Each structure stands twice: as C-alpha cells, then as structure tokens.
Amino acid sequence: MGLTVWTDGLFAGAVYALVALGLAIVYQPTHVVNFAQGEALVLGAVVGYEVLSVRGWGWGAAIAIAIAAGAALGLLQERAIMLPVRLSGSRFAWIIATLAVALILQSLYLINESGAVLRPEPLVDGAIRGVAWQKLVVIGAAVAVTVGYDVFLRRSAFGRAVRATAYDPGTAALMAVPVRGVVVFSFAVSCAITAFAGLLAAPALFVGPADGLQFAVKGFIAAVIGGVGSPRGALAGGLVVGLLDSFVAADVDASIGGVLVYGVLGILLIAFPTGLMGTRTRSH
C-alpha cells in the first residue's frame, strides 16, 4: 500500500482518537457516553472558518478562541446533560440528553453555517512526498495531547481525583474530592480538546455543519475498541478505525468500510471484552 493510504488512515485515525479521548474524559467520572461530543469538533471547524477565512486573524487567535469556545461549550453541555440525568433518575436518561444536545447544536450550526465550506487555510502549507503537512500536524497533535492527558491523569493530584471519582464517586466525596468540580472540569476539557482537533483537522478534512454526530459515532467505536475510559485506548482505537477506513477505501470499496469496522469491533470485543486497553470499573 502506498504512503498516502497509510497517512490518510493515520490522519483520520488521529481525528477519531481525539474525539474518543474527549468521550473517555467525560466517561471516566460520569459513566456517560456523550454523543454530543462531535459537535465540539464542528465548533472547532466553525471557529477556524470564521477566524481564519472570514476575519483573517491568524492561527494564534484561532487556537485560543477554539479552546476557549470548546471549554464554554463543555460547560453548557454539562448543565444540559447532567442536570436531566440527575433529576430523572433513569439509567437511560443520558442517551436522550446527549442526543438532544447534539441535534440542537447541529440545528444551530445549520442555521448559521449552511452552505459554508468549513475548510480554512492550513497551519503549515505544502506537502512532503504527496502528504500534506497539515495531516502530519494533526497526527502529531493527537499523540501529544493523548500522552499529555494520560500523564496528567496518572501523576497530578487532580488526575487522582478524577480516577477516584471514576471508581466510586460516593467514597470520593467522603474523602473531600470535589466530585461536581471533577465532572464540570471533564466536560470543559473534553470539548476544548475536541474543538482543538476540529480546528486542526478542518484544513485537510471536509467538515460540514451537520457532521458532528457522524464523528461522535466513529469516536465511540474507537473508544470501545480501545477501551472506554482509557486515553491510550482512545488513541489505539482511533488509529485502528482510521486505518481500516483508509485501507478499505483504497483496496475494496469505501461503501463497505463501515461494515468491516463493525465486524472488527465485534471480533475485538469477543477477544477483549473491555477493549484493547480497557479495565473493568466499579459500576455506579
């Protein structure tokens, strides 16, 4: 297989991995799969288009605004999702809440950005051996962000609070862990990372205003393959999904790529019920 096929697969996998990482960050303290996660990726693309293509403010401003806007979106999502989850008492409330938030945000994007090509100028122009530098930037960013968050989770005091909340929020609260603060922090950070991913990926990827749910589903598949809740698993799962998509599109037919991905997902879950790098966690 050619270098382009491998690079395209790693690039797509890096995008899925960052969405999966965002899902993992929220899932750890809440055990909620946020299907509105992909809307943060679209937000990053929207910021890139508005800041770079429309206003011409440059990449420094775009990165700062995308991260801030993503964090703000995360705070709004936390209120819109976790409040009804807590009030309803239903174990399935999170499904309705996250999908409702995703559809509302999708509608807002379509109203404001309908017909817009959310593809701003790249951070790094040009290509090497037919591979766009921007794709390499996204791959490198995915590895760096995932490793950075994994180190933070394992070595910082707040990371220990996140892990304690993930294991048993009741006991964590008794040990003076700010459980509510951990949940709010998780939503803000997850959306900030995913918006950053959308900003970086937009110059090399066609992101439409209504594509958020599609990326959330691919990110969810990546998270399940790698092990839901594991940052390293998110990276591994994302790369598996991206490479499968790329190989199938190049050698067989892109239309059956989804079938193959789901087939591999099923096989992997038979062999690894908690994912490639997942661990069994205490249920809430």
Type of residue found at 33: V
54 lies in which domain range?
3-271
d(CA 232, CA 201): 20
What region does 156 belong to: left with phi over 0, alpha with psi -120 to 50, or beta? beta
d(CA 209, CA 103): 11
d(CA 35, CA 32): 9
Tell me if residue 189 falls in helix, strand or coil: helix
User: What does pTM read for this prediction?
Assistant: 0.91
Per-residue pLDDT of the chain (284 residues; tens, 9 = 90+): 578 889 999 999 999 999 999 999 999 999 899 999 999 999 999 999 999 999 999 999 999 999 999 999 999 999 999 998 888 878 788 899 999 999 999 999 988 877 677 889 999 998 888 889 999 999 999 999 999 999 999 899 888 888 888 888 888 888 888 889 999 999 999 999 999 999 999 999 888 888 999 999 999 999 988 888 788 999 999 998 898 888 877 776 656 666 776 777 777 777 776 666 665 544 44
Any domain includes 280: no
Any domain includes 278: no
For 154-180, what is the HEC assignment? HHCHHHHHHHHHHHCHHHHHHCCCCHH
Any domain includes 50: yes
Any domain includes 279: no
Total count of domains within the chain: 1
- Supply the pLDDT for residue 283: 45
Any domain includes 9: yes
Q: How many CB atoms lie within 10 A of CB 134?
A: 22
The tokens of 229 are what?
Answer: 């809740």
Any domain includes 135: yes
For position 131, which CATH number holds?
1.10.3470
